[in-house]
Amino acid sequence: MSLRDRLSVSLKEAMKAKDATRLMTLRLINAAIKDRDIDARSEGTDAGVSDDDLLAILSKMVKQRQESARAYEEGGRLELAEKERAEIVIVEEFLPRQLSEQEVEKAIAEAITASGANSIRDMGKVMSVLKSKYTGQLDFGKVGGMVKAQLS
């Protein structure tokens, strides 16, 4: 079952269960996907966005909500922070499992070998290999520092 199908089925189930938080979050996901589909059509891609692009959208949504939750906590708005965390849990259901620390290090080592990188100038090549293989499974903000450390 494709990611779009899973989202559609989950949306219908949330409607039937009258789960307001889940329904709202799934509608936000669908709206983000439709926006990206419209952008893709205007660029000449009639098929819409790929599953890799969908994973990138979901990863971005998780990051946005994590930042919002942190900001709400710092501002003393704990109820809003909890709401953001509840949305994160729902969005993460559709993302692949995140790699462990050891798996990340192994993936970086393999990407360095595959790209033939040997200096910090080759970091872009390594990141490109990682993004093509591990979209949605890695936090590329954290991975960038790890790649830089291994190439130094």
pLDDT tens per residue, range 121-144: 888 888 888 888 887 788 777 888
* 71 pLDDT above the threshold of 90: yes
Q: What percentage of the chain has pLDDT greater than the value 90?
A: 38
Beta carbons of 60 and 136 less than 8 angstroms apart:
no
Q: Is residue 47 pLDDT above 80, yes or no? A: no
73 and 137 fall within a common domain: no
Burial 113-138 (b: 16+ CB within 10 A, else e): eebebeeeeebeebbebbeeebbbbb
* Whether residues 38 and 88 fall in one domain: yes
The packing angle between helices 101-115 and 123-134, to 10°, is 120
* Burial class of residue 66 in the structure, from the number of CB atoms within 10 Å of its CB (0-12 exposed, 13-18 middle, 19+ buried): middle
- Same domain for 26 and 87? yes
**Per-residue pLDDT at 40:** 80
To the nearest whole number, what is the mean pLDDT of the chain?
87
The pLDDT score that the predictor gives to residue 138 is 80
State whether 70 and 120 are in the same domain: no
Contact call for residues 34 and 40 (beta carbons, < 8 A)? no
What mean pLDDT is predicted for residues 86-103?
88
Domain span at residue 12 reads 3-92
> Are 66 and 131 contained in the same domain?
no
**15 and 45, same structural domain?**
yes
pLDDT confidence of residue 69: 95
Q: Structural domain tally of the chain?
A: 2
pTM, to two decimals:
0.73
Shared domain for 11 and 34, answered yes or no, is yes
What pLDDT was estimated at residue 83? 94
Q: Which amino acid type is present at position 7?
A: L
Query: CATH number, domain at 48?
Result: 1.10.1510.10
Choose one of 92, 112, 132: the last residue of a domain.
92
Q: Mean per-residue pLDDT for 89-117?
A: 86
Q: What is the pLDDT of residue 12?
A: 95
Q: Which pLDDT belongs to residue 87?
A: 94
**13 shares a domain with 76:** yes
**Do 15 and 75 fall within a single domain?**
yes
